[in-house]
Chain A
Amino acid sequence: MCDTCGCGDPELVPVEVQESLLAGNDRVAAHNRDHFAEHGTLAINLMGSPGSGKTALLEATARALGGGRRLAALSGDLATDRDAERLRRAGIPSRSITTGSACHLDARLVHEALHELPWHDARWLFIENVGNLVCPAIYDLGQAANVVTLAVTEGEDKPLKYPVMFRKADLVVLTKLDLLPHLPDVRLGAIADALARTMPQPRLIPVSATSGEGIGEWLEWLEALAGEAVEGAAADEAAAEPMAAGG
């Protein structure tokens, strides 16, 4: 208290917080993750530059699977419904998330859109993020894996220029492989080297959505991810059982 008049001097108080500024998003992402697990759906956050072939990869995936019945997709788009329309034509139940001028999807936008998409029967739910190699990497959406599309036309050094994005990738799908013969300066070895400097466990699958090359390996990767999820769930159950029996 103030000695002169007893007015109650304000006091400067330091408050230690030490909390991530993404904590709010992370809570919604955890909620999304629970939803996906409940329905046995694997959510994949598909990221990449504009025009790197995210939508084309999903179209090729549906073709290779003989239709999109086991798939569902949410497409982040600044202004249009075009990507979701393309995916619906490919037989994939899809819905757009129109972000306006926002540069990324966040967990809340995904959560709201989930209420308007029939995704419960899908084995894989693709969340096609806004074309951008910076901010989408920051926001957890509740996904089981991050996949980044990188077109051969983007150059060898993209991973070094966007380390935040590539560090978070579980898989990089190198797209437009059919164009490689026209690009004498692009070497697959140099791309692999750049990835080894940004991804601790680099995994690269080169594909061509046009010719279908590599799509088989991509499907194998998706199946393996589904297998891991089943094993993980079984392990969780086994770990939970003794506790349930005990009390």
Chain B
Amino acid sequence: MRVGGVAGAGAIIAPTVHEYSIVQALLARVEAEAAERRATAVHRLRVRVGELSGVETPLLESAYELFRERSICARAALEIVPEAARWCCSDCRAAVPAGGILRCPRCGAPARLAAGDDIVLERIEMEVPDV
């Protein structure tokens, strides 16, 4: 049966956002860690998503729902920890408020992003047979 009738010859047209690539990288990394420890199941993942990482949490969650089904993460909860963008002076390290002009209010040097541009797999909880 064809659904939608858009694609011919059984082609699957996936609406590709970069969150899909991120989730594929996430599952590949978790599978590798699990294989190394001979884990039988994964219970929980924790991923840190920076405000300026370019990754949208709801899209990441729906991409995870889509791809985890036949992976070792099929029953693993995904915990997403948001991280706010934090700017500081590149010279004197004073905090520079986000949203304003990105210059140090004290010495005028350009600001530097101190946190909030990463997307990081922090932790995996997996079930490992007792040996």
The number of residue pairs between A and B whose CB atoms lie closer than 8 Å in the complex comes to 118
Other-chain contact of A138, B18, B47, B110 (Cβ < 8 Å):
B18
Contact check, B37 vs A13: say whether CB atoms are below 8 A apart: yes
Q: Which of B75-131 contact A (CB under 8 A)?
A: 87, 90, 99-103, 110-113, 117-131
Contact check, B39 vs A201: say whether CB atoms are below 8 A apart: no
Contact check, A10 vs B40: say whether CB atoms are below 8 A apart: yes
Interface size class of B (residues with CB under 8 A): 35 or more
Check A185 for interface membership: any CB of B closer than 8 A. no
Contact check, B33 vs A17: say whether CB atoms are below 8 A apart: yes
Which A residues are in CB contact (< 8 Å) with B110?
200-201
Cα separation A10 to B34 with both chains bound (whole Å): 14
Contact check, A167 vs B29: say whether CB atoms are below 8 A apart: no
Other-chain contact of A21, B25, B100, B101, B125 (Cβ < 8 Å):
B25
Contact check, A138 vs B122: say whether CB atoms are below 8 A apart: no
- Interface 0/1 of A142-167, CB less than 8 Å to B: 00000000000000000000011001
Which B residues are in CB contact (< 8 Å) with A197?
99-102
Cα separation A14 to B122 with both chains bound (whole Å): 10
Which A residues are in CB contact (< 8 Å) with B101?
193, 196-197
Check A243 for interface membership: any CB of B closer than 8 A. no
Cα separation A164 to B55 with both chains bound (whole Å): 10
Which B residues are in CB contact (< 8 Å) with A167?
52, 113, 117
Contact check, A106 vs B21: say whether CB atoms are below 8 A apart: yes
Contact check, A200 vs B102: say whether CB atoms are below 8 A apart: yes
* Known pairs A197-B101, A199-B102, A200-B90; A135 contacts B37 (CB<8 A): no
Other-chain contact of B122, A11, A12, A18 (Cβ < 8 Å):
A18
Cα separation A100 to B110 with both chains bound (whole Å): 39
* Known pairs A11-B130, A167-B113; A17 contacts B121 (CB<8 A): yes
Check A8 for interface membership: any CB of B closer than 8 A. yes
Cα separation A8 to B40 with both chains bound (whole Å): 13
Q: Which of A1-28 contact B (CB under 8 A)?
A: 1-2, 8-22, 24-25
Which B residues are in CB contact (< 8 Å) with A207?
none
Contact check, A8 vs B130: say whether CB atoms are below 8 A apart: yes
Closest 7 interchain pairs by CB?
Answer: A135-B18, A200-B110, A164-B54, A138-B54, A10-B127, A101-B16, A200-B102
10 example contacts (A-B, Cβ-Cβ < 8 A) are as follows A12-B128, A13-B37, A14-B125, A17-B33, A20-B119, A102-B21, A103-B16, A134-B54, A167-B52, A167-B117
